[in-house]
Amino acid sequence: MNILLGCIADDFTGATDLANNLVRNGMRVAQTIGVPQRSLDQEVDAVVVALKSRNLEPEEAISQSLEALEWLRTQGAQQIYFKYCSTFDSTPTGNIGPVTEALMHALKTDFTIATPAFPDNGRTVFKGYLFVGDVLLNESSMKDHPLTPMTDANLVRVMQAQCQAKVGLIDHRSVAQGPAAVQQRIADLKSQGITIAVVDAVSNDDLLKLGPALKGMPLVTAGSGVAIGLPANFGLSPTPQSSTLPHAQGLQAVVSGSCSVATNGQVAHFKATGRPAMAINPASLMHGQTDAVVQQVLAWAGPLLQNGPLLVYSTAEPDAVKAVQAQLGVAEAGALVEHALASVARGLVALGVQQLVVAGGETSGACVQALDIAQLQIGPQIDPGVPWCHAPAQNGGVHITLKSGNFGTEDFFSKAFDTLH
Ligand code: ADP
């Protein structure tokens, strides 16, 4: 098999977000969970290797990303796409910068771009500053993220802090003029010794103008937005067939471990519809109590599942999250909750759930791993950045959607099940 585009995503929701944009623009896409051991059986144009590397130590994130790169190269990938979050989730030690530099080194390339712009979801970059909706990144709810609080909206500065290489900017003037101007700007930056450039984009039109300028660039690093302009470089255009999934069956549930503003709103909305919902308090998981808590949740869920979708969540407001983190430590709190929610997801599937909504990037990673899902087929979009996916198995498999924390409208959880039917 010779794939056109080989993608490495730093979390699982981000991987489906990217796959979604590629599918919608005409590519046949498979998403693998982790680096596959062998070639895929399916004929596809792009493979997205989903890693859970966003919050690892940089050395480990680099090592996993290079392993993914090696596999993608053996599949013939003509271009590599490193996908990260549209809110540029990272810390001063990484992992966006270190992984980008390691991939550049391995690909022996002397220039790449970096832009999380995703206008369909309100992520725009102007003069190198990232806006989330109408506010700068550091004024958005991302300032309170449990693992990667973002306190600076200037992406040139943020990226420079993570990189050895010199970071510059391809600003909106060049992007608006089109591919030739972008290429000229790239040549100018290279002559100044700059090897990584943040790119402005405030609309899909900007991203579509950027696309042709990226043709043949060995490595592209971005959120999912840039992907809308790439399939055309390979002569592909949108077709409805690329997003067809098998018929959905089985019971329905939502597992939510995201504490984002959007997810808090979605949890509140779902509860307000009168559907059953059970909260998991992280403090109750301490002292080896996770298994007992999971059993309680599953005993509660068992009979209720027959009546329609239910919700299990640890989603909480920033103050509550901070209090738990102060008690347990940030990493320990995250890991405890992820482990509990992943066990709940596995238990729910054992109870007959075959339509599962998971909210939260790290949470999705933990759940997909606990469910032993190796590969996902990408289906129809529920909201920008969030498609339904299907993981095949003998019993008909599981339809699953992995929602990045800040994505989706308030009624996302109910709408997701409606979209599937
Ligand atoms: P998002 O997509 O919104 O970033 P993630 O799942 O990636 O969501 O990250 C949320 C992190 O917060 C996870 O590590 C999760 O386990 C942790 N978490 C979830 N609920 C709580 C809580 N109530 N208190 C502390 N941490 C929590």
Rounded average pLDDT over 166-175? 98
Task: Tell me how far the alpha carbon of residue 367 lies from the centroid of ligand 1, in angstroms.
Answer: 13
Q: What is the pLDDT of residue 409?
A: 98
Q: What is the pLDDT of residue 244?
A: 85
Q: What is the pLDDT of residue 243?
A: 86
∠ Cα 8 125 149 (to 5°) = 70
For helices 290-304 and 330-350, give the axis angle rounded to 10 degrees: 40
CA proximity to 46, closest of 66, 76, 17, 70? 76
Half-sphere exposure in the Cβ direction for 19 (13 Å, CA): 36
- Nearest atom in ligand 1 to 257's CA: 19
SS3 of the chain: helix, strand, coil, percent, to 5: 45, 25, 35
**Res. 217: pLDDT tops 70:** yes
**Res. 3: pLDDT tops 90:** yes
- Cα separation, 407 vs 201, whole angstroms: 19
- Cα separation, 293 vs 373, whole angstroms: 24
Q: Per the confidence metrics, is the pTM higher than 0.85?
A: yes
Tokens (6 digits) for 344: 């709940």
Task: Tell me how far the alpha carbon of residue 337 lies from the centroid of ligand 1, in angstroms.
Answer: 7
Q: Which one of 10, 337, 406 would you pick to mutate in the ligand 1 pocket, going by the greatest count of ligand atoms within 8 A of its CB?
A: 337
Distances (CA, A) of 6 to 65, 230, 257, 387: 12, 12, 29, 19
Beta-strand pair 123-126/219-222: unpaired
Q: Whose CA is nearest to atom 21 of ligand 1?
A: 314
**Res. 344: pLDDT tops 70:** yes
Question: pLDDT class for 119, splitting at 50, 70, 90?
Answer: very high
Q: Give every CB contact of residue 266 below 8 A, 6+ residues apart in sequence.
A: 256, 359, 408, 410, 411, 412, 413
pLDDT in tens, 29-38: 999 999 999 9
Q: Which one of 123, 258, 322, 324 would you pick to mutate in the ligand 1 pocket, going by the greatest count of ligand atoms within 8 A of its CB?
A: 258
Q: Whose CA is nearest to atom 13 of ligand 1?
A: 334
Distance of CA 225 to the CA centre of its chain: 12
Task: Tell me how far the alpha carbon of residue 167 lies from the centroid of ligand 1, in angstroms.
Answer: 31
- Nearest atom in ligand 1 to 314's CA: 20
Q: Whose CA is nearest to atom 14 of ligand 1?
A: 334
pLDDT in tens, 69-81: 999 999 999 999 9
Rounded average pLDDT over 111-121? 97
Could you check whether the bond before residue 264 is cis, i.e. omega within 30 degrees of 0? no
**Res. 364: pLDDT tops 70:** yes
Rank 138-147, 212-221, 368-377 by mean pLDDT and report only the highest: 212-221
Tokens (6 digits) for 134: 């109408």
**Res. 7: pLDDT tops 80:** yes
- The binding-site residues of ligand 1, defined as CB within 6 angstroms of any ligand atom, are 145-147, 257-260, 263, 282, 314, 316, 320-321, 324-325, 333-334, 337-338, 360-363, 404-405
Question: pLDDT class for 393, splitting at 50, 70, 90?
Answer: confident
For helices 96-107 and 155-162, give the axis angle rounded to 10 degrees: 70
Question: pLDDT class for 185, splitting at 50, 70, 90?
Answer: very high
Tokens (6 digits) for 258: 């995201």
Task: Tell me how far the alpha carbon of residue 405 lies from the centroid of ligand 1, in angstroms.
Answer: 9
**Res. 1: pLDDT tops 80:** no
**Mean pLDDT over the full length of the chain:** 96
**Burial class of 237 by CB neighbour count within 10 A (0 to 12, 13 to 18, 19+):** exposed
The residue written with tokens 């997909």 in the block is: 368
Task: Tell me how far the alpha carbon of residue 257 lies from the centroid of ligand 1, in angstroms.
Answer: 5
Q: Which one of 336, 358, 363, 412 would you pick to mutate in the ligand 1 pocket, going by the greatest count of ligand atoms within 8 A of its CB?
A: 363
Tokens (6 digits) for 132: 């989330």
pLDDT in tens, 26-67: 999 999 999 999 988 888 999 999 999 999 999 999 999 999
